[in-house]
């Protein structure tokens, strides 16, 4: 490589450093770790610093990302850094163009909320993250449910954008928590989860889950709080709580044994068995399963017909069915969230989360 090319490459590198600071959209933890690793490799070479402790989430994730690059040459790392920044800048510009060309501004970052006739549709919209639910998305779903509960629609539908319905909690959020902030993060998560589940327990109108793909964790445990659950035949349902050092939530410790029996519930909630859509339907977790090729057409045809039923009658019937066990559900929610708060602070849970983050951050 000529000295002129080296200088040009260094100029590109300096420009890319400035562009990273000007990015208005958060590229996500995985990309930020990749940027960090490439920058360190380009400026210092291979990682030689001591490995941080297991509980130092932030620095441990950074160290792993950098160390994974091995003996990658500085010049190559510099070029990869420049290329990655260029792709982020290009994607951001494209997103800004799409936003400016859209007449209506969305109040949600991670949801698409639309009205289709008498149906309010809440679509989880983080397809690149398999619709993993982060703290912001939790709060947005709460706000969307509050708005849907008060509008004049007859039904409210929750579905996902992309191949996943939802991959559950976005555990990568713990990767950006400093050790001294873990206790506060756990308390905030406890309060947010409790409020989130309360909104499903108390939602006044018929609530429908249109499960367009695989569901994990809280995306599964919430399903008994819906009034109808339709699923594509390609969907799977997985609650890997024990593997992550955690425990059930969303009242599933009560609703799962109630609808499928204690042994079937234990198989999912304790042992983390993943079930197919057909198995979930046989267990009472899913109302009906449709072929993936006709899933959207068949489901929405049926929902549009249901949305023409007298809305006040549907609300009254739901309240009659649900009201007698609301107090029980709220009590279970409190107990489950309290146990989860303990589990999140436990060594096995923290180690499981660290291992999860490390797997996700590998380049």
- The answer to whether residues 281 and 289 touch, using CB atoms and an 8 Å cutoff, is yes
Q: Judge if 45 and 11 occupy the same domain.
A: yes
Tell which of 74, 103, 132 closes a domain: 103
Q: Judge if 47 and 175 occupy the same domain.
A: no
Eight-class DSSP state of 126:
-
- Output the pLDDT for position 75: 87
Q: Judge if 150 and 270 occupy the same domain.
A: yes
Q: How close are the terminal C-alpha atoms of the chain, in Å?
A: 26
pTM of the model: 0.73
Q: Judge if 59 and 118 occupy the same domain.
A: no
Rounded-to-integer distance, Cα 350 and Cα 280, Å = 30
Q: Judge if 31 and 153 occupy the same domain.
A: no
Q: Judge if 94 and 121 occupy the same domain.
A: no
| Cβ neighbour number for residue 289 with a 10 Å cutoff | 22
Q: Is residue 269 part of a domain?
A: yes
- Output the pLDDT for position 7: 44
- Output the pLDDT for position 94: 64
Q: Judge if 29 and 173 occupy the same domain.
A: no
CATH of the domain at 342: 3.90.226.10
Q: Which domain holds residue 329?
A: 111-358
Tell which of 103, 119, 147 closes a domain: 103
Instruction: Locate all alpha helices (DSSP H) within 23-117, ordered by sequence.
Output: 29-44, 57-68, 74-101
Angle between helices 262-269 and 252-260 (to 10 degrees): 130
User: Which parts of the chain sit beneath pLDDT 70?
Assistant: 1-9, 54-57, 93-106, 174-179, 357-363
Q: Is residue 53 part of a domain?
A: yes
Q: Judge if 78 and 97 occupy the same domain.
A: yes
Q: Judge if 86 and 121 occupy the same domain.
A: no
Q: Judge if 258 and 173 occupy the same domain.
A: yes
């Amino acid at each position: 490589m000529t000295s002129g090319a080296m200088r040009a490459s260094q100029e590109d590198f300096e420009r890319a450093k400035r562009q990273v600071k000007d990015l208005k959209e958060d590229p996500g933890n995985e990309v930020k770790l990749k940027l960090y690793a490439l920058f360190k490799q380009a400026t210092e070479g291979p990682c030689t610093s001591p490995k941080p402790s297991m509980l130092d989430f932030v620095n441990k994730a950074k160290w792993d990302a950098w160390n994974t690059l091995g003996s990658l040459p500085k010049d190559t790392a510099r070029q990869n850094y420049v290329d990655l920044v260029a792709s982020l800048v290009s994607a951001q510009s494209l997103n800004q163009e799409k936003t400016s060309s859209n007449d209506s501004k969305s109040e949600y970052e991670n949801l698409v909320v639309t009205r289709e006739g008498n149906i309010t549709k809440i679509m989880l919209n983080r397809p690149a993250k398999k619709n993993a639910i982060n703290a912001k998305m939790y709060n947005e779903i709460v706000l969307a449910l509050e708005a849907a509960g008060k509008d004049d629609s007859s039904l409210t539908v929750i579905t996902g954008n992309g191949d996943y319905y939802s991959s559950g909690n976005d555990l990568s959020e713990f990767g950006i928590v400093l050790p001294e902030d873990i206790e506060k993060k756990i308390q905030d998560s406890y309060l947010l989860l409790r409020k989130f589940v309360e909104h499903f327990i108390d939602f006044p109108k018929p609530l429908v889950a249109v499960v367009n793909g695989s569901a994990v964790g809280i995306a599964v445990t919430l399903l008994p709080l819906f009034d109808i659950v339709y699923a594509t035949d390609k969907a799977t349902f997985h609650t890997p709580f024990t593997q992550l050092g955690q425990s059930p939530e969303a009242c599933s410790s009560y609703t799962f044994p109630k609808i499928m029996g204690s042994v079937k519930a234990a198989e999912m909630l304790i042992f983390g068995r993943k079930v197919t859509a057909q198995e979930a339907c046989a267990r009472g977790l899913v109302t009906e399963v449709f072929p993936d090729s006709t899933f959207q057409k068949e489901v929405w045809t049926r929902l549009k017909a249901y949305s023409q039923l007298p809305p006040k009658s549907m609300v009254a019937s739901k309240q009659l069915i649900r009201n007698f066990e609301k107090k029980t559900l709220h009590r279970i929610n409190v107990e489950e969230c309290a146990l989860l708060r303990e589990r999140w602070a436990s060594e096995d849970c923290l180690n499981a989360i660290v291992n999860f983050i490390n797997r996700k951050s590998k380049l």
